[in-house]
Amino acid sequence: MMSTNKKYNQLASTILDNVGGISNVKHVAHCATRLRFNLKNESIANHDELKQIDGVLGVSKAGGQLQVIIGPDVSNVYNEVNKNFNDETITSESNQKKDSKITIKGFLNGIMDALSGSLTPAIPVITVAAFFKMITAIFGPDMLGLISDTSDLFILSSFVGDATFYFFPVIIGYTASRKFKTSPLLGILLGAIMLHPTFMGLAAEGASFSVYGIPTLVVNYSSTVLPIIMSVWVMSYVEQFFNRVVPDVLKSVLAPALTIAVMLPLALSIIGPAGAVIGTSISEGLLNLREYAGFLGVALIGALFPLLIMTGMHIVLITALIQAFIENGSESFVAAGLAAFSFAIMGMALGATLKIQDKKEKSLAFSYFITAFLAGTSEPALYGLAIRFKKPLIGLMTGGFTGGLYYGLTQTGHFTLIPVTNIISVLAFTGHTSANLINGIIGGLISFGVAAVVTYALGIPFTEEKQNEVME
């Protein structure tokens, strides 16, 4: 039997061969389930061969990247892929910047890639915040009433839960710096500057302020996302410039100091206010869209979310969701549609598991169900079942639509930000009324049940002959 390390090494090697080899890779990274390749020449990547590799669930092109879907083992495969590169190779982000041609498509893809790369690493701390917020929501006076809102435990849980969102610019300052290959400590410092109590006090008072004599709109940047991401992106170029021109003997002191000196007017006078306006516009636009689309909009999000994932456009909606939630403390449009999709994909995987007769394929389908149910990872079921066999996709979209329709009609929303899409995500409906939680559970059961029943009823076009067709 092949050892685990050898299996991952062989899989990594085969994937590299089919993306055009090491020399065709500008940059490689990974998320929860996918290897993300930025290639020099995308045309020489063999998509058909990649899809047939044992261990590859699917292939997608989104955000200017070739994305190879692996599933939960992606980090192990990535480690083997990464062994082929070192600091002297073309995997650095700086080389990407030099080689990239600016186009509208590339610009939009770059925006989605930047948002994803900056927000995804922050999920663990959002999870921590959600855990403590759930303590106040479930055990506090609004639900079980086991702890009062004046108790030390309630107060402690509240400010621990709130800390993540208040200091979000500091957290994103770090994650964005890692994404844009600039100093993480400078990213943290830039976020801290934007949240300094004096600056926040000026924002609260509406006082006038200037940076180097430049009139500056003082904004409360707590809980914002876009201002710090945009600022760190610009800072990556500023720091790169000073690292190149400052003499080595002075670089350790002058380069970071000059970088921040230049970033102060850029971040506080130009980029920060612009990012805040964009973020507010996104939030308001989402609310306005809900007004126009109403309950039907939630249903459509639930139905179309798998297609958004395949195109990479889901990150735009998730960014809008986070921005709206941070600003308003709740979200019942995108979040409700996403919840309907999350429960639907669990139901679809279970329906397929019950229908498939082949033992190997049944085992795979069940593993996809467990992955979605416990880990909240949807890609294995999406690509391994819905896209592969087509009919389960109908069950998935039907379940997402009907569950979303129920959420929309009952105006059920998320009042606790839970950054996972597994069974625990039902707790996102806590923090408001008991009716909201009950409707959240009912909507989830509808999505799950409809997707499972429709998938089972439509059947899986899977016979031994069909299996041979799929594998060839």
- CA within 13 Å, CB half, 433: 7
Backbone phi and psi for residue 220, each to the nearest 5 degrees, phi listed first:
-80, 105
The residues that are catalytic are: 31
- CA 84 to the chain's CA centroid: 27
Task: Give the whole-angstrom CA distance, residue 202 versus residue 195.
Answer: 11
Q: 199-208 burial string, b = 16+ CB within 10 Å, else e?
A: bbebbeeeee
Q: Which two tokens stand for residue 300?
A: 């459509």
Task: Give the whole-angstrom CA distance, residue 448 versus residue 451.
Answer: 5
421 closest CA partner among 394, 448, 388? 448
Task: Give the whole-angstrom CA distance, residue 278 versus residue 227.
Answer: 9
Sign of CA dihedral 386, 391, 392, 394: positive
Task: Give the whole-angstrom CA distance, residue 273 versus residue 290.
Answer: 26
Q: Which two tokens stand for residue 456?
A: 């089972």
Task: Give the whole-angstrom CA distance, residue 241 versus residue 119.
Answer: 26
Is residue 36 within a helix (H) or strand (E), and if so which, with residue range? strand 34-39
96 closest CA partner among 45, 37, 150, 161? 37
Q: 448-463 burial string, b = 16+ CB within 10 Å, else e?
A: bbbbbebbbebebebe
Number of H helices, E strands in the chain: 21, 6
